[in-house]
Structure 1
Amino acid sequence: MSEASPRVGFIVGNDFDRTIQFDQEGVVYLQGNNDAGRVLALLPEREFDHARIHIAPSYFRKARRWNVSEIDVFWNMVSDADQNPKTLDAIEKFTADFDIPVIDPPHQVRHTRRHQIALRLAGIDNVHMPKTLLLRNPTLERLKRQVEEAAFEFPAIIRRTGTHNGQMLGVVASLEEIEGVYGDRNNDYYLTEFVDFRRADGWYRKTRFFLVGGDIVVRQHVVSENWNIHGRSGREMADDSPQRLEAKAIVGGGFAGLPEITRAALREIGDRMGLEYFGLDASVDADGRVLVFEANATMNFLPSSGHMRGRSAAALEPMLAAVRKLVLAKAGQRTTKT
């Protein structure tokens, strides 16, 4: 590791950009990348130095190469295996040429598609992981076999692969209701068992966690009348409403304020995911059991404005502490190798 502050190389890119942008001020289309770079930039100036490394599937067909001689840690932010499989392949080849530790290496990200995570997280105590099927060139007969082999139950949510932020085609009660996707050779789909997680008080709840190294941060808690919850779902609630106050208390209480069975479940999820930085959207019921909606490294921590406000602001300090700890730990791995 260099004598100066650790230098982090943020690896970005996607399958749609064919031209490598070596200009650090250039705009890079970042679909399927997370915002970890924006998070790290909130740490005190000069605590960590960093550089952006743009990789595209065509990287190894170019004569020009990135100079990474001063990089202590790679951080792979290309985090959606559905959207960017070719870029992940290029990044794996790129990082293999250097003795530099990698946060969220491509070979681990590649195994975080929804149907793979459904299998990976199945069977954890006090965790319910709905089954998810990958539908490729679907036909009714083929899907009937998939459903039967997986003991899959309806109703179910259907969405295109690579979609987030609650984007979906709908909730269906049977395979016959998704006839419109049959024979589609241009798109793959996920079919996920729908679970009604409304509590006895009539409200739905979703909590976003970030698992960073060995730390777990409660990023957001939203209470809504609608099951398809997003960050904006709670905006219509008055600031002094019980739902807003609950959200503030959950985020303010952090990981330590969660029930022990919830903390144990989240730790086991972290162990099984194989990533050092990722987000988890889930609902925690009144008894502390966890219903998983989504777990991957594509989730963003910061709002689009970049400023943490209101009931979510309490998550910023523990997040920055966890990111600092993770980077220093990875930089230390470089030190022991050189």
Structure 2
Amino acid sequence: MPLIDQTLPALSDTLVPPIVRGTADLTSFAYQGNDHDALMQRIETSTAPNPALARQAAQTYDAAIALQLGFRRAEGLNLQDTALDASPLWRVGGAPQGAPRDALRLLALVGPGDLMTNTPLDFLTNHLNVRLDLLYLLPDRPLPASIPDHDAAFFALGEADPATLARLRRLFAAWPRPVLNDPSFLPALERDTLSRSLAGIASIASPTAVATSRAALQAHLDTGCPIQGFDTPTGPYPCLIRPIGSHAGAGLSRVTNPAELANYLRFCFDRQFFLTAFHDYQGADGLYRKSRVGFIDRQPFLCHMAISQHWMVHYLNADMTESAAKRAEEAAAMAEFDHGFARRHQAAFAALHERLGFDFYSIDCAETPDGRLLVFEADAAAIIHLMDPPNLFPYKQPQMRKVFAAFEAMLRRRAAAPRAAAA
């Protein structure tokens, strides 16, 4: 183990980190229509039992989240740096359900970054009898001398550069408590890597995806030369283009000819991109359907299904709240999932698990007209939540409670297993 982590932290039964509201609490509050001022008031009036200095640090940590929720990402990340200078350890507030002595103690190893950097575990644990502590791994800084003792540790970074990945692997192997989500599989989530690994599997439609540069795209436009590695039966168009490192559709566009590609590059200033062959998955009724399937110990759960007239489907832009018919279809999909969708794609799921050995991850996917599973992406840090208003989405309450219960059951199984079996 390198000098930076030569000594693992001591485990303390008495150490209490600053208590924060956290990402799930503040995101849910914003999702209900509350603005930045209301978020700040919620943070400032927190009743968490923090001492004075810890209270100030906790408010700084939560304010960094609030700024990002208000689309002030740079300010939020700067404030996050200030909070992490004060402490690398945080406890997500909210009393666990049930008797506190029965609460499972979960430590999540996370990294600095925006709201999509880490698995947002508090969207699950806030509904469970689980105490969640967050330990930030800060570049070029050792772990703290002492951390709260815990029943299990969850490696929650959704992506990592080579140096961070090597550090995560060493910590995963040496950690003194049972561990979940082996970070060794993180490179397999990259769009181009995942596309190549799934190519040729009969049950899966895996559109060709490559990482490329602005220079390579410009050379293609100037000379007509092929884009290296982007070999598709129909040529390079139509294709999807997005900046490497972007999430949630940011910078994503469909281009159908060189002129559209040139126009995209004219207004996008990134240097590195992913290109993905566009696979038309429009249904016979003209609508597009995209599902988020979460896997907990390889068991699949439908977490949402969005239905849209546009090929770029996101739950928030699919007008699900405005359409009773769409909600009824989603409710039926959830009710029938175990005996329908999951059974139809059992072979595809098994192929995914062979390549992605995480304990907890999700995919965004659809069904092709010929019955294959169309995999858009796999993610260890996607949000799985219960934020939708129950008056409009009553069917989500039992479905997501089932997901949360499965997650807690997995944690308790892993916590009870010997360390050697958990690694």
**Residue equivalent to 1:8:** none
Match of 2:145 among 45, 65, 75: 65
Give the direction of change, closer, same or farther, for the CA distance of 1:314–1:285 in structure 2 (3 Å limit).
farther
Match of 1:146 among 223, 228, 231: 228
Match of 2:158 among 63, 79, 82: 79
Q: Which amino acid in 1 is paired with 2:249?
A: G
Indicate the larger mover: 219-228 or 309-318. Answer: 309-318
How large is the Cα RMSD of the aligned pairs? 3.5
Match of 1:159 among 213, 223, 242: 242
| TM-score between the two structures when normalised by the length of structure 1 | 0.79
Structure 1 unaligned runs (5+)?
5-11
- The reply on whether 1:108 has 2:185 as its aligned counterpart is yes
Q: CA deviation at 1:121?
A: 1.8
Give the direction of change, closer, same or farther, for the CA distance of 1:26–1:90 in structure 2 (3 Å limit).
farther
Percent identity of equivalent pairs: 20
How far apart, CA to CA, are the structure 2 residues paired with 1:55 and 1:199? 44
Give the direction of change, closer, same or farther, for the CA distance of 1:37–1:105 in structure 2 (3 Å limit).
farther
Match of 2:133 among 51, 75, 88: 51
- Could you say what secondary structure the match of 2:228 adopts? helix
Q: Which amino acid in 2 is paired with 1:57?
A: P
Larger RCO, structure (CA 8 Å, separation 6 or more):
1
How far apart, CA to CA, are the structure 2 residues paired with 1:218 and 1:42? 18
Q: Which amino acid in 1 is paired with 2:415?
A: A
| Higher share of residues assigned helix | 2
Aligned partners of 1:55 and 1:90 also within 8 Å = no
Indicate the larger mover: 211-220 or 173-182. Answer: 173-182
Indicate the larger mover: 264-273 or 128-137. Answer: 264-273
**Residue equivalent to 1:297:** 380
Match of 1:35 among 120, 135, 143: 120
Aligned partners of 1:59 and 1:90 also within 8 Å = no
Q: Which amino acid in 2 is paired with 1:79?
A: G
Give the direction of change, closer, same or farther, for the CA distance of 1:90–1:239 in structure 2 (3 Å limit).
same
Q: CA deviation at 1:197?
A: 0.9
Q: CA deviation at 1:164?
A: 1.7
Q: Summarize deviations over 1:112-158 as a string: whole Å, max 9, x none.
A: 11111111222222210111101145324487251466766421111
**Residue equivalent to 2:299:** 215
**Residue equivalent to 1:168:** 251
Q: CA deviation at 1:49?
A: 3.8
Match of 1:320 among 404, 412, 415: 404
Q: CA deviation at 1:249?
A: 0.4
Who wins on radius of gyration, i.e. which is larger? 2
- Could you say what secondary structure the match of 1:250 adopts? helix
**Residue equivalent to 1:331:** 415
**Residue equivalent to 2:20:** none
How far apart, CA to CA, are the structure 2 residues paired with 1:246 and 1:165? 23
- Could you say what secondary structure the match of 2:196 adopts? helix
Q: CA deviation at 1:259?
A: 6.3
Aligned partners of 1:39 and 1:320 also within 8 Å = yes
Q: CA deviation at 1:92?
A: 3.1
| TM-score between the two structures when normalised by the length of structure 2 | 0.65
Aligned partners of 2:198 and 2:206 also within 8 Å = yes
**Residue equivalent to 2:90:** 24
Structure 2 unaligned runs (5+)?
1-10, 14-22, 24-76, 94-111
Q: CA deviation at 1:90?
A: 3.6
